[in-house]
């Protein structure tokens, strides 16, 4: 029920059975959860869409790693940290909206997202870690806001379709 979902504060105390499901839009009703635990949704091949609750501030390391059929992620304002390899290997992820609240993009957060075509880095991001977009082979353009002061090693390694990148003077 909605009431039961809203009462959950920590997903790591729940066991997610990896049975076949295509969407998890019900996740939006878990309004007291602040963190998507590390590796919590990883390797769920059938997952195609997910809608985050507005309460989420942190996406744990490898949270959606190798969800190979994930195509749509609805992330609301409030998400601040996208930790290492959070969406690594989501090869069918074509586009993702990063809310303005995001301040950090972790190590390899979107590496091997080979269908990702464009991404807009929010104004609040101050650093992009190593390998963040490695092997995003269909990524064509990216704009880096002025507040970003560091871009990690190999952040855009093998982004062979990248034709446009805008950097600020502060990087």
Contact assessment for residue 152 and residue 132, using Cβ atoms and an 8 Å cutoff = yes
At 96, is the pLDDT very low, low, confident or very high (cuts 50, 70, 90)? confident
Contact assessment for residue 107 and residue 131, using Cβ atoms and an 8 Å cutoff = yes
pLDDT in tens, 126-142: 999 999 999 999 999 88
CA-CA distance, 111 to 82, in Å (whole number)?
Answer: 13
pTM as predicted: 0.90
What backbone torsions phi and psi does residue 3 show, to the nearest 5 degrees?
Answer: -65, -45
Indicate the average pLDDT of the chain.
Answer: 88
CA-CA distance, 29 to 101, in Å (whole number)?
Answer: 20
């Amino acid at each position: 029920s909605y009431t039961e979902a809203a009462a959950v504060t920590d997903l790591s105390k729940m066991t997610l059975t990896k049975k076949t499901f295509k969407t998890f839009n019900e996740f939006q009703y878990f309004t007291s959860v602040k963190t998507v635990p590390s590796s919590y949704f990883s390797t769920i091949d059938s997952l195609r869409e997910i809608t985050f609750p507005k309460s989420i501030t942190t996406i744990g390391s490898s949270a959606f790693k190798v969800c190979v059929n994930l195509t749509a992620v609805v992330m609301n304002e409030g998400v601040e940290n996208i930790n290492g390899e959070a969406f690594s290997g989501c090869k069918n992820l074509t586009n993702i909206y990063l809310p303005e609240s995001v301040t950090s993009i972790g190590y390899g957060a979107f590496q091997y997202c080979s269908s990702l075509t464009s991404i807009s880095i929010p104004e609040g991001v101050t650093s992009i870690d190593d390998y963040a977009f490695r092997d995003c082979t269909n990524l064509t353009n990216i704009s880096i806001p002025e507040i970003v002061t560091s871009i990690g090693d190999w952040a855009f390694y093998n982004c062979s379709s990248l034709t446009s990148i805008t950097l600020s003077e502060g990087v």
